[in-house]
Amino acid sequence: MWLKQTVNPKKNNERKPVMAVKLDEKSGGKVLEVRVTGKLAHEDFLHFVPKLEQMLKQHGKLRVLFDMVDFHGWETRALWDDIKFDLKHFADVERLVMVGDKKWEEGMSLFCRPFTTAKIRYFDHTRADEAREWLENGIGNK
């Protein structure tokens, strides 16, 4: 499911995704793949946090793959939303795998460790299959 499309005022109300978030449930809802592109905004959290919380209520702890494609980080308010979510759900994510292609994205996997009890790994996009394997079964090297 893709979330959030905004109107581009320069193109006569043409709809253009400024930030796209795709949520995809796997393994009967115990695994969530989150694909992000662009820059996360506060409005993005308003859309996908309720879905994550619903899944947590249904399935308990989740395993999450955070796939960053042409990702440019967070707006200030969105970063605060992310920190609040992480603190609220400190122990609700069992494993978190981050997939990207930039050095700073790899650094995020280290930065977020104090905000969760999840086992965290980073994989380059060229190793996305290995990342999924680690997420599902704990197999794969860092």
Q: Which of 13-22, 60-69, 99-108 has the highest mean pLDDT?
A: 60-69
Q: Is residue 39 part of a domain?
A: yes
Segment holding 139, helix H or strand E: none
Indicate the number of domains in the chain.
1
Q: Residue 16's pLDDT is what?
A: 46
Q: Is residue 142 part of a domain?
A: no
Q: Is residue 29 part of a domain?
A: yes
Q: Is residue 42 part of a domain?
A: yes
Higher pLDDT, 82 or 104: 82
Report the distance separating Cα 97 and Cα 122, nearest Å.
6
Domain harbouring 49, CATH code: 3.40.50.10600
Q: Is residue 111 part of a domain?
A: yes
> How does the average pLDDT of the chain come out, rounded?
82
